[in-house]
Amino acid sequence: MQKLIKKMQKGELHVHLNGLASTSLVQKLLIEEKAEIPAGFNLNVDLLRTSPSTDLETYLKPWQVLRLIPRSKAALGLVIDSAFENLQSQNVTFVELRNSVIYIALLNNITISTALSWLIHEIDRASDKYSIKAGLIITISRGDYAPDHLRSLMEAYVQLGRPDRVIGLDLAGNEDTTSPVELGQLFRKAKEEQGLKITIHAGETGNPENIRDAIINFDADRIGHGTAAYKSLAVMDMLRDRDICVEVCPISNRLTGAVGAHESHPVSEFIKMGVPFVICSDNPSIHDSNINEDYLEFYRETHNIDILESMLNRQIKYTFLRGIN
């Protein structure tokens, strides 16, 4: 099965740039760029999450230092090269990369539009170099500043002439954090006025209502994780009837605790109920893993080879990238 999976051509619809770059490169950049590592953070241990965390906050510990790099455009280029090398080794031929952009601006003392142009330029270069089609999804973090961040990012996007490389918006972060109500309206506005697609991390911390909120108030085209969907028949029906694809990340879901050690993964319910989904890897380097391992984990859960064999067609159907076939 491992060999068969390795040979399969793949698309990756849910992966964070910082969770895809190799751990050795991250360590090297943190040391070379003399980043101020928080007290008690062990670079040899805390960049990896290979056993289930008690909560999402604990799982997110590596981001305490991932936010401290890159400190130049050249270093960003190395991070992106490392990400594409990983994708190439897994036979991934198209990718939607996620990044929250603003920390790059703050870290390098540059404007958000310059930070966005760095990312676009380096993804352009790597996409050609590795022959992998690629788009950027801009991630907004939940919380009080989310509307301001989204407004600033959209200004930068417009200032750069609405580059094709930017394909969508994502909302991420702890779902227990409340965000101002206007945030949903701002996401919908970006979709209507700029044609950007929307994906929302929702239902990862146990609440199916967050999935309904993502669909109704954010007009989500896809849902990240959505593991809580099975708790609500109405939400399952909504996902199926509106053809909203769930980005299932089997290994991540175990490590964040979204799916408990003794529970079966809700993807089996998605199959039963006809809820559309694709398999993705989320933060493979943090998991000391790769997307092939996620395919394998899905197979262990479901023993469904037919779905694995049709996975590429699903990824092509639900990707935000244009011209993939």
Binding residues for Zn ion, per CB under 5 A? 282
Please tell me the distance from the alpha carbon of residue 291 to that of residue 243, in angstroms, as a whole number.
24
Q: Nearest distance from residue 31's CB to Zn ion, in Å?
A: 27
The pairing of beta strand 166-172 with beta strand 133-141: parallel
Element (H, E) at 83: helix 73-89
- The type of residue at 192 is E
Residue 111 tokens, joined: 């404007």
Which residue number, 204 or 219, has a Cβ lying nearer to Zn ion? 204
Which residue number, 96 or 219, has a Cβ lying nearer to Zn ion? 96
Element (H, E) at 10: strand 10-16
Q: Nearest distance from residue 56's CB to Zn ion, in Å?
A: 11
Q: Nearest distance from residue 201's CB to Zn ion, in Å?
A: 6
Residue 121, C-beta contacts closer than 8 angstroms, at least 6 positions apart: 73
Which residue number, 21 or 71, has a Cβ lying nearer to Zn ion? 21
Residue least distant from Zn ion (Cβ)? 282
CA-based end-to-end distance of the chain: 25
Q: Nearest distance from residue 319's CB to Zn ion, in Å?
A: 16
Q: Would the CA dihedral through 287, 288, 289, 290 be positive or negative?
A: positive
Q: Nearest distance from residue 243's CB to Zn ion, in Å?
A: 21
Supply the angle between the helices 112-130 and 73-89 in degrees, to the nearest 10. 40
Which residue number, 113 or 283, has a Cβ lying nearer to Zn ion? 283
Which residue number, 113 or 290, has a Cβ lying nearer to Zn ion? 290
Q: Nearest distance from residue 172's CB to Zn ion, in Å?
A: 6
Buried b or exposed e, range 172-181, using 16+ CB within 10 angstroms: bbebeeebee
Residue 93 tokens, joined: 């031929």
Which residue number, 67 or 189, has a Cβ lying nearer to Zn ion? 67
